[in-house]
């Protein structure tokens, strides 16, 4: 592996600007938070698009395609290098991409009422290089694997030559122009779905179901222009940009799904939300209200139990622990109630097994998971698509990290979509839940409002 030390980039996106049109461009970052790490890459050696029904389209770096039959997760497991230890931190090379929520429908055999689309259910690239920035150490490093394609290596070396100029360049960019956002679920339709969930709760079908609604808009601006504006307005700890052939994901997610590092599994479900206050006093009141809410704690605890069971499938027996319960975490537009569950990866299980067997995350389905997903499909007005799926990476050193694709825009051609929602339980109040779904996306819509 070739290692090149670059000038430290406080804002790596300035270097990304120089390859902003690259195929397969992907950027995992933590909202520019100092003391953290981030990385980006592009031009995957092979790109895997899962089309459903055990069919995967594989495209190599030269654009040559072939169809492969079989289980998608097993195909990915056979692709990634099997190294289990590395002195290199974070992501130097490996698999990265996303699973859509609809991928979870197929895996759990939930039959959807919605017509199938041509959009892949999952897109994952095998990246043989990365530009990795450690803000704590103030280092930016370029890692290039020996098997990285020669033409890609040439592009990377050219990128490295431009790193010094990038560190001095101006970050200012023109704001994108976005049309009016239109909700795809009326208050009347929401009320009908809310009441239906309440009936299912009373009948004992479920303990909780996550009900979401979609907003649509359009823009002629590029995915990178839109994302640059979005991350400037609302940085988040599990943010991801992923450009695919058929769509682009623009995520500013606050929620981790599964992390595996040195065989330690960590998951951090979010359940419970309050808006930020307009004054310090109001903000503190809202924070305290969330911390003491028995309803939100009960909602959170249901998902904690679900995830304990999900990760136990691949955990060493007896190692599953709830390390933190009902922790308040504050973001630019909301306070969230977050719990942390850990376990040890058992011998014989692969990190991708953990991710796949827990997918989709219980915090965006409800409990029990499969029945909640059936009800969601019955009552929501559109397919979720990538929303509520998961963006992830699996480094060649065996480390994995992933998010829940909430606070996420999907761009397809000039069409933009965004969703917001929340968990419905027996004591949920309709007007409050309807307002919460709007609160969760309000800053996204504001950041990309018409100009």
Least confident of 33-42, 183-192, 214-223, 279-288: 33-42
Grade residue 176 by pLDDT with cuts at 50, 70 and 90: confident
Grade residue 450 by pLDDT with cuts at 50, 70 and 90: low
Q: Give the number of domains in the chain.
A: 1
- Tokens found for residue 336: 């969230």
Q: What is the CATH number of the domain that holds 364?
A: 3.60.120.10
Q: What is the mean pLDDT of residues 329-349?
A: 91
pLDDT at 106: 97
What pTM, to 2 d.p., does this model score? 0.93
**Contact by Cβ (8 Å): 418, 181:** yes
pLDDT at 85: 46
* CA pair distance 33, 244, nearest whole angstrom: 26
CA distance to 57, 98, 256, 327, 356, per residue, from 122 (Å): 11, 6, 18, 32, 12
Q: Is 247 helix (H, G, I), strand (E, B) or coil?
A: coil
Averaged pLDDT of the chain: 92
- List of E strands, 205-247: 208-218, 238-243
pLDDT digits (tens, 9 = 90+) for 249-276: 999 999 999 999 999 999 999 888 888 8
**Contact by Cβ (8 Å): 441, 407:** yes
Q: What is the mean pLDDT of residues 273-286?
A: 90
Burial of 323 (0-12, 13-18, 19+ CB in 10 A): exposed
Grade residue 203 by pLDDT with cuts at 50, 70 and 90: very high
Crossing angle for the helix pair 187-203 and 369-379, nearest 10 degrees?
Answer: 150
Higher per-residue confidence, 70 vs 14: 70
Grade residue 22 by pLDDT with cuts at 50, 70 and 90: very high
pLDDT digits (tens, 9 = 90+) for 209-240: 999 999 999 999 999 999 999 998 888 999 99
Burial of 317 (0-12, 13-18, 19+ CB in 10 A): exposed
* CA pair distance 155, 161, nearest whole angstrom: 10
* CA pair distance 178, 247, nearest whole angstrom: 17
Active site residues: 255, 271
Helix (H) or strand (E) holding 362: none
Grade residue 88 by pLDDT with cuts at 50, 70 and 90: low
Q: What are phi and psi of 238, to 5 degrees?
A: -125, 50
* pLDDT surpassing 90 at residue 377: yes
Residue 408 pairs with which residues in a beta bridge? 251
Q: What are phi and psi of 276, to 5 degrees?
A: -75, 145
DSSP 288-334: HHHHT-HHHHHHHHHHHHHHHHHHHTTB-TT--EEEEEEEEEE-SSE
Q: What are phi and psi of 105, to 5 degrees?
A: -60, -45
Q: What is the mean pLDDT of residues 388-410?
A: 96
* pLDDT surpassing 90 at residue 33: no
* CA pair distance 312, 318, nearest whole angstrom: 9
Supply the range of the domain harboring residue 291. 2-447
pLDDT at 36: 85
* pLDDT surpassing 90 at residue 174: no
**Contact by Cβ (8 Å): 158, 397:** no
Q: What is the mean pLDDT of residues 299-313?
A: 94
pLDDT at 84: 46
Q: What is the mean pLDDT of residues 277-293?
A: 92
Q: What percent of the chain has pLDDT over 70?
A: 94
């Amino acid at each position: 592996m070739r290692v090149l030390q670059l000038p430290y980039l406080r804002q790596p996106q300035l270097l990304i600007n120089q390859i902003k049109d690259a195929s397969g461009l992907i950027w995992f970052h933590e909202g520019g938070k100092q003391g953290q790490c981030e990385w980006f890459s592009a031009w995957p050696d092979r790109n895997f698009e899962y089309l459903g029904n055990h069919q995967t389209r594989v495209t190599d770096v030269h654009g040559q395609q072939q169809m492969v039959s079989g289980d998608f997760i097993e195909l990915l497991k056979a692709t990634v290098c099997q190294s289990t230890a590395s002195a290199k931190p974070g992501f130097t090379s490996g698999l990265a991409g996303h699973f859509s929520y609809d991928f979870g429908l197929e895996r759990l055999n939930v039959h959807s009422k919605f017509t199938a689309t041509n959009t892949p259910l999952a897109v994952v690239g095998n990246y043989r290089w990365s530009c990795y920035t450690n803000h704590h150490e103030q280092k930016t490093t370029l890692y290039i694997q020996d098997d990285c394609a020669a033409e890609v290596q040439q592009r990377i070396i050219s990128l490295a030559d431009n790193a010094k100029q990038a560190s001095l360049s101006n970050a200012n960019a023109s704001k994108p122009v976005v049309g009016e956002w239109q909700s795809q679920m009326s208050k009347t339709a929401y009320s009908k779905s809310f009441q239906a969930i309440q009936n299912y709760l009373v009948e004992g079908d479920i303990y909780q179901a996550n009900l979401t609604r979609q907003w649509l808009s359009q823009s002629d601006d590029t995915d990178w222009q839109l994302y640059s504006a979005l991350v400037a307005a609302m940085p988040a700890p599990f943010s991801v940009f992923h450009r695919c052939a058929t769509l682009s994901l623009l995520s500013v997610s606050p929620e981790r799904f599964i992390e595996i590092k040195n065989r330690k599994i960590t998951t951090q479900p979010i359940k419970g939300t309050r808006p930020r206050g307009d004054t310090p006093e109001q903000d503190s009141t809202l924070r305290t209200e969330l911390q003491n809410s028995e309803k939100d704690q009960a909602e959170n605890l249901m998902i904690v139990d679900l995830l304990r069971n999900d990760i136990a499938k691949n955990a060493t027996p007896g190692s599953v622990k709830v390390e933190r319960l009902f922790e308040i975490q504050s973001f630019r537009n909301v306070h969230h109630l977050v719990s942390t569950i850990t376990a040890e990866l058992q011998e014989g299980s692969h990190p991708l097994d953990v991710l796949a067997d827990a997918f989709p995350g219980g915090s965006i389905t409800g409990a029990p998971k499969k029945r909640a997903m059936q009800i969601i499909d019955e009552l929501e007005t559109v397919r979720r698509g990538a929303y509520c799926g998961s963006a992830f990476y699996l480094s060649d050193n065996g480390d994995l990290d992933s998010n829940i694709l909430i606070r996420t825009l999907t761009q397809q051609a000039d069409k933009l979509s965004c969703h917001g929602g929340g968990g419905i339980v027996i004591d949920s109040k309709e007007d409050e839940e309807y307002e919460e779904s709007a609160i969760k996306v309000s800053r996204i819509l504001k950041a990309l409002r018409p100009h």
